[in-house]
Structure 1
Amino acid sequence: MKHQFLAIDEGHQKLSLIDTANPRYGWTRSLADFPAARDMQRIGPNLALIGFERGFFELSISSGEVLATCDRWNNVTAARRLVNGATLVTGANLDGSGGINVLTLDREYRQVSAVRRDGDYVRLMRITDLGTYLFCMNDHILETDTSLISLNAMRAPGFEHAWKAERMDDGTTLVSAGYGAFMARFDRRGNLASTFGAAGTLPDEVAPFFYATFQVLDDGRVMVANWQGHGPENGHKGRQLLEFSRDGKLLDSWSDPQRISSLQGILIL
């Protein structure tokens, strides 16, 4: 496996730039000032947006330097930069009303709008090409319009803390199942079409435990973070980064337990 990527290590509360072919490459920085980092987005050739519990920050990919920070809330779970420069911030109880919120900030991080719906749990949020929102709501994926009015719900047996959903170019939706430790693909209507990556279909040393962030590469390969638990001792339990073909066949895997404890977030560069 040959990839360079940003990695959120939840067990050590660190963020690293990693080259799978060169263990001495890159940098590692503490996330002590940015707890519960969950979301990552590349927003420029050398710039990444990192969402954390209280907001988000912008980071130099090459150096790990924090260039700007928005630290304002509690329970932020996702942050996404739009093409117009605005930022969407998603989380639970961000406005104190106990619901699920999506806040829109302008380029200067001033809040310009907010929408809310009932609920007390959400993980990553993604925007489809049609402008709808995909929310990970523990045991299902909720698709809404921009007012957070429900359009569809996608469910699969075994979803528990489902982590990320992404709409593909062909209209299907790919989901990481969290503690279910498998990947699920839904058809255009939101019906479960297939799954892959589950325990029993992979070599024992992979040890699927919690499928967290994933990324689909330009050629259709699917990279998946196989999170192994909260503590810093978990790195030796299984393979941390998994590479699947477009049709769900395991192609390769990688781990560096000396550097990474529990891989939760990935941003393939």
Structure 2
Amino acid sequence: MKTLLSIALFLLSASAVLGQNTQRHFLLRDEGISQLAFIDEAHPEKNWYTPIPAGRDIQLVGNGRVLVGTGNGYEEHDIATGKKVSELTSFPGTVSARRLKNGNTMLVGANWQEKQGIVLVEVNPSGEVQRKIVYPGFGYVRLIRETASNTFLVTADEIVFEGDASGNITWQAKIANKDKPHAWQAIRLANGETVVSTGYAVSLQFFGKDGNLLRTITAPPAAKPNFFAGLQILPNGNYAVINWQGHGAGFGNSGTQLLEFTPEGKQAWSWQQDATKFSSLHAVIFLDGLDTSLLHVEDSSGKLAPVKRP
């Protein structure tokens, strides 16, 4: 009996390390058909799917809501039902949106808001502009991430950089092995490295404090790697990444679009999308272990953590 119990505990432990959890809950953004979805693997009857405007990024913003960036600002949706509960539509040209630790929202665009370069526009909950940050010399942008030191990691096609509130670039790196990769998302790690989902370079690339490439994680051919998009560092330290397949409908049978890798680069888990429900994913948030009543941002280790404000 002790032997059987020991084996069972070992398998449970190994499953947790590799991320093979059959009780997972996650949010997905489908760029191909402009859809937001909630998936409960254990109880698929609870799944929901709702149309949203075109845009980029998703984020837990508290009060049981998820923020989705749109081409005019952002929307907030109720996680329990998918229903839209709030929106900001007065900033056409928005590329992506991110809720900051202070409760305001940073809208992102390029050659925008009467400025040239990458432009970050911070708005308060009423949609009033609080400040603008401009990084000149760039004409392309995707996502931003606020760091633990209150700077911003910005993906600008083949360049990923860190910028401060005054518009100064304090660090940068160049994506390897692909021209115009349309790099998607960057996260700062506890050891000072920066991991980037590199778009058409189809990899996670890790850069040192000096901007040099340290190592790369790629997907196996069976997944049909095409474009690495949304990225999340899971509580177990693994990397979950979206393998986007193409614009528009009809990509549901193409590739495996949600992958998980260990820090050593071994594929630990994958999720095969239902082609009748999805086309081409580009963002994910695993909800297990997270408190959806609170705003979440990446902490000093790069993992999602709650922001508790007075």
Q: Distance in 2 between matches of 1:4 and 1:158?
A: 34
Measure how far apart 1:52 and its partner are. Answer: 1.3
CA displacement, residues 208-250 of structure 1 (integer Å, 9 cap, x when unaligned): 1000001001221111100000121112121010011122210
Amino acid at match of 1:178: G
* TM-score, normalised relative to structure 2: 0.80
CA-based RMSD of the aligned residues comes to 1.6
Using the TM superposition, name which of 101-110 and 121-130 deviates more: 101-110
Question: Does the 8 Å contact 2:135/2:169 carry over to 1?
Answer: no
1:151 maps to which of 159, 170, 189? 170
Q: Distance in 2 between matches of 1:161 and 1:84?
A: 29
Q: Distance in 2 between matches of 1:61 and 1:253?
A: 23
Aligned to 1:168: 189
Measure how far apart 1:188 and its partner are. Answer: 2.6
Unaligned runs of 5+ in 2: 1-19, 288-310
Q: Distance in 1 between matches of 2:117 and 2:192?
A: 29
CA displacement, residues 159-213 of structure 1 (integer Å, 9 cap, x when unaligned): 5000000111221111001011111111233221100124xxx2x3211100000
Larger proportion of strand: 1
1:117 maps to which of 112, 120, 135? 135
Q: Aligned pair 1:128/2:142, yes or no?
A: no
Q: Distance in 1 between matches of 2:278 and 2:269?
A: 18
Aligned to 1:258: 276
1:27 maps to which of 48, 73, 87? 48
Q: Distance in 1 between matches of 2:148 and 2:101?
A: 12
Using the TM superposition, name which of 21-30 and 65-74 deviates more: 21-30
Superposition map of 1:99-248 within 5 A: 99-118=117-136, 119-159=138-178, 160-198=181-219, 202=220, 204-248=221-265
Superposition map of 1:51-90 within 5 A: 51-90=69-108
Aligned to 1:96: 114
Q: Distance in 1 between matches of 2:232 and 2:119?
A: 25
Amino acid at match of 1:155: K
Measure how far apart 1:96 and its partner are. Answer: 3.0
Bigger Rg over Cα: 2
Q: Secondary structure at the match of 2:222?
A: helix
Amino acid at match of 1:189: D
Q: Distance in 2 between matches of 1:87 and 1:117?
A: 18
Larger proportion of helix: 2
* Deviant stretches of 4+, over 6 Å: none
Q: Secondary structure at the match of 2:103?
A: coil
Measure how far apart 1:12 and its partner are. Answer: 1.3
Amino acid at match of 2:170: L
Percent same amino acid among aligned pairs? 34
Question: Does the 8 Å contact 2:160/2:175 carry over to 1?
Answer: no
Question: Does the 8 Å contact 1:39/1:77 carry over to 2?
Answer: no
